[in-house]
Structure formats: structure tokens, C-alpha cells
Amino acid sequence: MDATISVICFKSKTLANGEHPLMLRITKDRKRTMKSLGVSVHPSNWDFARNEPKPKCPDRKYIQQIILKVKTEYQTKLLEKSANNEDYTAQTLVKEQSREQIQSETVEHFYLRTIEQLKREGAVGNAYAYQNSYQVLRSFHADKPLAYTFGQIDEAFLNAFESWMRSKGNKETTLSFQMRTLRAIFNRAVRARIVGREKNPFNEYKISKFNTRTPKRALSKTDVMKIMAADCSQGKAIEQFAHDVFVFSYLCGGISFVDMANLTPANIVEGRLIYCRQKTHGAVNVPLSAQAREILAKYDGHCRQAGYLFPILDERVHITPMQKKNRVHKMCGRVNFALRGIGKRLKIEATVTTYVARHSFATVLKKSGVNIGIISEALGHHSLKTTQIYLDSFENSQIDEAMRHLL
């Protein structure tokens, strides 16, 4: 009995973005085997009666191409089996074909498809990283924008790409970021069977060679106190807000701007600030000083209407992950511009930003002789994840005692 081949929208599994995966289904001798095609579709965009994407499906042409390609490959394999009088099962057919199958797709198409998929899934941070990587590669090959396959990205390509970025004045941290992002998209292409694993150029090209150590950006305690004592009440609203952001961050464990933007009343528990970091998802639990509480009180009106402690996000306006990402990015730029102005007015030589408040928090405590395990030197140098791991392992009383050294 010959096998039957079809592609279905697998309703039994729903992804985080509300879509169902498309599955290849092979049936032979009343036994069925299925395999994911690596793409998904929202049920509203799938015609279950005809078993195909609806005319208004956003990725209809691409999905149709994938379906046609997969069906053709497996039907060709069935003809070969029949001509050679070979015995097989649905399961062995899928395994055999999977080993042989390597799809052909340009770097550009795979980048754009991945970016759109990440946006639909709400992974806007990764989507932005891949979008940036895509734009840089387009500039590198302006004459033929990414019209090549991943198999053409070899060690020589990477060396040329590195030399081009250096000629543009990019620093080691930028080089490392671009190469790590390119490696990530290459690994995705390997998993999607766009390119063979043995073609991976990063087996030879080592990203670890880049010196990603950055100069310390912390202020001295004297400069921090200058900012804390600065009177910004007569300045513009954005300057007053920027001052509040810096002071609150410094007093509350060096909380980052994006984490501050996402704070809600639920993060205040018995006089403490408790939240999970947006970047590492590590848990943070620090005391709220009287001054920090005063800052929050200034924005009570906004909080009651918008749902967030600070006037950065508004739950009535910023709903999707992309809207939140864009808003936080825009506001962080405005706040940092205002902070640089405050720093210049106070004759502080270092550039003052929200991130400097985070570094300053760690450095001031370190110089005060606080247990290195609590603040972790990694906060200012390498891995912020390590900082969160160390913070989680100490009792609240130890953290409270340490933070008394801030003022």
C-alpha cells in the first residue's frame, strides 16, 4: 500500500503566539508519522476544509512554497522507492528524507522571515538585534544585498566582514555583538535545515578573541552626592524626571531603566521593591528608602491612571511588546540627554546616564567595603546574571545593611 502525504495545521498544539504549527503527515499501512515544517499559522488564516492558507493569510505565498516543496520532495522519494521496489514505513521515510533534505534559502529571506516570526511571538529584543544585524550586512554587501546562501558565509567572509567593520571605526564590543548575532542566525539556519552543520564557519572563527571589556562608567561618591543634592525643580519637566530616575536607580539596587519602566504597584511589597529583571529574569529584592518612596509618591496620579509607577509606559496606550519597546527606547534617550545636561551643569567630567547610576551603585558599595558577594564585581564588568545569582543568595537583612552605605 502506497503512503499518503499531506500538510496539516496541527490544532492540538498551540504556540505562545496563538498559532498552530504546520505538520507534514505521512500515512502508510494505517500508521501515521508527522514532522514539523518549522512554520506556524494562526487558525484564522487557515482553511481547514481545503487544508491550505486562506487568501488573506499574511505569509500565504511563502507557506504555499514550503508546502509544495516538501510535498514534491517526499513524493519524489516515494516514486524512487516504488521504482526500486524498496520496502519502507512512514517513520523510516521521514527519517531518511530528513537526513538528505537541505533547503535552499537566501540569507536575506531567512533574516526577514526570522525577524517577523520573533515580532509575532513578542520577542522584540531579539527581533531588534536581528534587524540591526540584517541592516549592517546589507551595508557590507550594498551591491548585492544578502542575495547569497548561508553556505557562502565562510571564515574568509567573516574576516572580510570584520575588516570592513573596523574600517568604519567600530569598536571591539560592536564587533563582538555583530558576530555573535550572525552566529545566532546561522545556528537558527542550521536547525531549520537551511544549511548543513558542517558548514558553520564559527567552528574556526573565534568570537572570544574580541576584547569586550569596557571602561568603568561609575561616578565617585562625591559626584553621585552632587547629583542627589541638585535642585532641578525649576528646570524642564524632563530634567526633573531624569533626576528622579537617576536617584531612584541609585537608591534601589541600580535598577535599569527598562526595569523601572515596567514597575507596577504589584512590585511594592511590605516596603520593599521586588521584581524580575527584563533582561535576565533574575529576581531582585531591595528595600525602599524614604527618599525612593518620596519619588514614587510624585507619580501617584500617573500610576492610578496608567498602571505603572513611572510616567514611561501607559497600559492604555502601550499594549504590544513592540509598542512598549519603542516607548522605553524613546524615553531612555530623552532621559539620558537630560542627565548629560545635569552632569555638565554640575561640572561632572564623566558622562551621566541611567546606566551610570547602575554602575555607581555597585562601585560605591564596593569601595565602602561591602561584601563582594552581595554586589558582585560582575555588575560593573562582565555578567549581570552573576550579580542576580549572588543577590538572591543573601538574606534581606544583609542587603539592607549593605545599602545603608549608599548615602
- The CATH number that applies at residue 268 is 1.10.443.10
Q: Are residues 197 and 297 in the same domain?
A: no
Q: Are residues 318 and 374 in the same domain?
A: yes
Is the Cβ–Cβ distance between 295 and 305 less than 8 Å? no
Domain presence at residue 216 = no
Q: Are residues 127 and 43 in the same domain?
A: no
| 152, 186, 209 - which closes a domain | 209
| 58, 76, 100 - which closes a domain | 100
Q: Are residues 113 and 235 in the same domain?
A: no
Rounded Cα distance, 271 and 211, in Å: 42
pLDDT of residue 387: 47
Q: Are residues 320 and 261 in the same domain?
A: yes
Rounded Cα distance, 278 and 122, in Å: 13
pLDDT in tens, the chain (407 residues): 578 888 889 988 887 778 888 888 888 888 888 888 777 889 999 999 888 999 988 778 878 888 888 888 888 888 887 777 788 887 887 776 555 444 557 888 889 889 988 887 777 888 889 999 999 998 987 766 667 788 889 999 999 999 999 999 998 889 999 999 999 999 998 888 788 888 899 989 999 888 766 555 667 888 888 988 988 888 899 999 999 999 999 888 888 899 999 999 999 999 999 888 787 777 788 889 899 999 999 999 999 999 999 999 999 999 888 888 889 999 999 999 999 999 999 998 888 888 887 777 767 666 666 655 555 432 333 454 554 433 344 445 555 666 666 66
Is the Cβ–Cβ distance between 29 and 19 less than 8 Å? no
For the full predicted model, state whether its pTM sits above 0.95.
no
Domain presence at residue 214 = no
Rounded Cα distance, 339 and 250, in Å: 14
Q: Are residues 300 and 327 in the same domain?
A: yes
Is the Cβ–Cβ distance between 261 and 328 less than 8 Å? yes
Q: Residue 106 gets which letter from DSSP?
A: B
Domain presence at residue 215 = no
pLDDT of residue 58: 78
Rounded Cα distance, 196 and 151, in Å: 8
Rounded Cα distance, 292 and 309, in Å: 12
pLDDT of residue 388: 44
Q: Are residues 24 and 127 in the same domain?
A: no
pLDDT of residue 375: 55
pLDDT of residue 145: 63
**Torsion over CA: 314, 315, 317, 322 (sign):** positive
Q: Residue 152 gets which letter from DSSP?
A: G
Q: Are residues 396 and 353 in the same domain?
A: yes
Give the CA distances from residue 250 to residues 16, 144, 328, in Å, rounded to whole numbers and listed in that order: 36, 48, 19
Domain presence at residue 69 = yes
Domain presence at residue 178 = yes
Amino acid at 281: H
Residue 203 C-alpha from the chain's centroid: 24
User: What total of structural domains would you count in the chain?
Assistant: 3
Boundaries of domain holding 78 = 4-100
| 100, 130, 146 - which closes a domain | 100
Q: Are residues 133 and 230 in the same domain?
A: no
Residue 141: partners with Cβ closer than 8 Å, 6 or more residues away: 148
Q: Are residues 307 and 361 in the same domain?
A: yes
Amino acid at 274: I
Q: Are residues 8 and 93 in the same domain?
A: yes
Domain presence at residue 140 = yes
Would you list the DSSP string of 206-252? -GGGS-------PPPHHHHHHHHH---TTS-HHHHHHHHHHHHHHHT
Q: Are residues 247 and 310 in the same domain?
A: yes
pLDDT of residue 57: 87
